[in-house]
Amino acid sequence: MTRAVNADSTATQYADIAHLLIDRLGDQHPGLRTRQQDWTWDGVVRESAARAALALAMRRPGPFHIGVLLDNVPDFIFWLGGAALSGATIAGINPTRSADELAAEIHYVDCQLIVTDTAGMTRLRALDLGLDADRFLLVDDPGYAALLDAHRAEPAIAPGVGEDDLFLLLFTSGTTGASKAVKCSQGRLAWTAYAASAKFGHHRGDVDYCCMPLFHGNAIMALWAPALVNGATVCLTPKFSASGFLPDVRYFGATFFTYVGKALGYLMATPELTGDGDNTLERAFGTEASPEDQVEFVRRFGAQLFEGYGSSEGAGAVELAPDTPAGALGRPAHAGIAIIDPETLRECERARLDEYGRVRNPDEAIGEVVNKAGVRAFEGYYKNDHADADRIRHGWYWTGDLGYVDTAGFIYFAGRQGDWIRVDGENTSALVIERVLRRHPEVIAAGVYAVPDPRSGDQVMAALEVADPATFDIAAFTAFLSARPDLGSKATPRFLRVSPHLPMTGSNKVLKRELQQELWRTTDTVYRWSTRGEPEYHPMNAAEKAALEAEFERFGRRRLL
């Protein structure tokens, strides 16, 4: 079962993950490494086959869905391979979810078997999941190895497994709304792996450092699958650690890694040391990093960053260009990629940028990123027809993301659809504001979101993560904001929440919906700008918070999130 990705290809290219994996049988090149143990690709295939046989032996009627609640440990990789060979579907379970969310998501994706460890089982045991005790496999249980040994056999693909088989259910991050499970077939992931290899230069000699969670599309689509295609080496760390990043890179000799913007922000907040550039890194791929963090990373660590646009849903396409200006993603890959006004269905005007990179005509230029030819690439959400219909409208694929195209034809990401903030009748992007806030040296992470004005429209609130809120100099920060020429007065936050730890998703994104629900109802210090003219912040006391609550009551709680 093969499929050529391009007309010039002479090598055999497989259309599904199962055949890609079997093709590695006998390959003695390093396939998987941790600080404790190494496996060749042949070993990875054989470990995957044992799990495939075990899964088939334990299969029950109904969707063949296996939930995996693990950190980035070897068993996660082996169960990905096992699912591919057996025709099962892996649903990566996000450990940062609350108990109610965990239960709801496991029920939602119809898991008939769950692979976890003792720590994960401690959480799951208290939940009503409707599963018998024998439907849980604990990878650190003494009997687990013996169970696998009983199912070891020569690796093979189960009958009927192919490119159309559902392979992954990838939960969206849920930063601004409820998460959904994106469907990804073996065929789509194989095609994505080949495309990523061509785009980012993946090759067999790569040592791919996997520090993003394997339950998220970033790690699987942009790192694990390309490594499988090329026979490169995957190196695992259980969780992302900013302080442990460079030691791991040096230990493994890593040449490539993936990131999200907030994780890169944490990394750049670590103290710079002489010799940071003494490492093996060559390049990385990620999304939503600030232009400043990108420049500093390249300067400090010496590796090339491919800042892109991507989503678990797929169907978005941006072409890299060597002349891409700072902050831009590249050029639309084809004429079907457009910025559309969702009300008029017309293409938005080109963005006119001032000398600071601000969009001078945001109402006319910022719209939703649409792929007019992306319907075929989007495989849908699991059991969510309403969400499918929201993505596919008028025969086009709507990404749910904001963007704009400048007069030179470069495309820019302007945040998620829920990041649109309307102040005094004018729209602004939360992402643009976050990038300004992140330039302050004390700010490790920032989340910007709308606080409803009790009368009309929105006000801007920002949550800042800093090392020590007690020593945070609000006056110096205010002066910093006032000196930013690319931050307009309406985009300047009216409320500032300063915290040592902001709530994060498992993929290191600020959980804005939680912040938006809490507003000023938090033990963190919340500052308010209540003066006219230049911003001047003061910490809100209990009486002020009560007065603000009363104001919302007076003008209607319907406006209170």
**Mean pLDDT of the 261-278 span:** 90
Q: Are residues 476 and 503 in the same domain?
A: yes
With the CA atoms of 531, 532, 534 and 535 taken in that order, what torsion angle do they form, in degrees rounded to the nearest 10?
A: 30
In this prediction the pTM is 0.79
Is the predicted pLDDT of residue 6 greater than 90, yes or no? no
Q: Are residues 508 and 441 in the same domain?
A: yes
**The predicted structure's pLDDT at residue 457:** 62
| Burial zone of 279 (CB within 10 Å; 0-12 exposed, 13-18 middle, 19+ buried) | middle
The domain boundary, picked from 369, 393, 419, lies at 419
The domain boundary, picked from 239, 272, 307, lies at 239
Q: Are residues 456 and 329 in the same domain?
A: no
Q: Are residues 345 and 486 in the same domain?
A: no
**The predicted structure's pLDDT at residue 125:** 92
CB 365 within 8 A of CB 351: yes
**The predicted structure's pLDDT at residue 83:** 98
Q: Are residues 353 and 396 in the same domain?
A: yes
Is the predicted pLDDT of residue 450 greater than 90, yes or no? no
**The predicted structure's pLDDT at residue 4:** 36
Q: Is residue 276 part of a domain?
A: no
CATH number for the domain harbouring residue 77: 3.40.50.980
CB 451 within 8 A of CB 495: yes
The domain boundary, picked from 387, 419, 451, lies at 419
d(C-alpha 275, C-alpha 425), whole Å: 50
| pLDDT tens, residue by residue, 188-245 | 999 999 999 998 999 999 999 999 999 988 999 999 999 999 999 999 999 999 999 9
Alpha helices (H) in 139-290, listed in sequence order: 144-149, 186-200, 217-219, 225-230, 242-252, 261-268
| pLDDT tens, residue by residue, 471-490 | 999 999 999 988 887 777 77
CATH number for the domain harbouring residue 495: 3.30.300.30
Give the range of the structural domain holding residue 231, as residue numbers without chain letter: 17-239
Q: Are residues 368 and 474 in the same domain?
A: no
* Residue 298 one-letter amino acid: V
Q: Are residues 402 and 481 in the same domain?
A: no
d(C-alpha 221, C-alpha 193), whole Å: 7
Is the predicted pLDDT of residue 10 greater than 50, yes or no? no
Q: Are residues 433 and 513 in the same domain?
A: yes
The total domain count for the chain is 3
**The predicted structure's pLDDT at residue 560:** 42
Q: Are residues 515 and 436 in the same domain?
A: yes
Q: Are residues 408 and 555 in the same domain?
A: no
Residue partners of 422: CB distance under 8 A and separation at least 6: 428, 450, 457, 458
Q: Are residues 475 and 389 in the same domain?
A: no
Sheet holding 65-68, edge to edge: 136-138, 111-116, 65-68, 89-92, 166-171, 181-185
What backbone phi and psi angles, to 5 degrees, belong to 509?
-115, 140
| pLDDT tens, residue by residue, 28-85 | 999 999 999 999 999 999 999 999 999 999 999 999 999 999 999 999 999 999 999 9
Q: What's the pLDDT band for 555 if we cut at 50, 70, 90? A: low
* Residue 62 one-letter amino acid: G
| Residue spans of beta strands (DSSP E) within 417-535 | 420-423, 426-429, 443-452, 458-466, 495-499, 525-529
Q: Is residue 392 part of a domain?
A: yes
Q: Is residue 103 part of a domain?
A: yes
Q: Is residue 286 part of a domain?
A: no
What backbone phi and psi angles, to 5 degrees, belong to 359?
-80, 120
Q: Are residues 465 and 397 in the same domain?
A: no
Q: Which of 70-79, 96-105, 537-546, 548-557 has the lowest mean pLDDT?
A: 548-557
CATH number for the domain harbouring residue 329: 2.30.38.10
**The predicted structure's pLDDT at residue 2:** 40
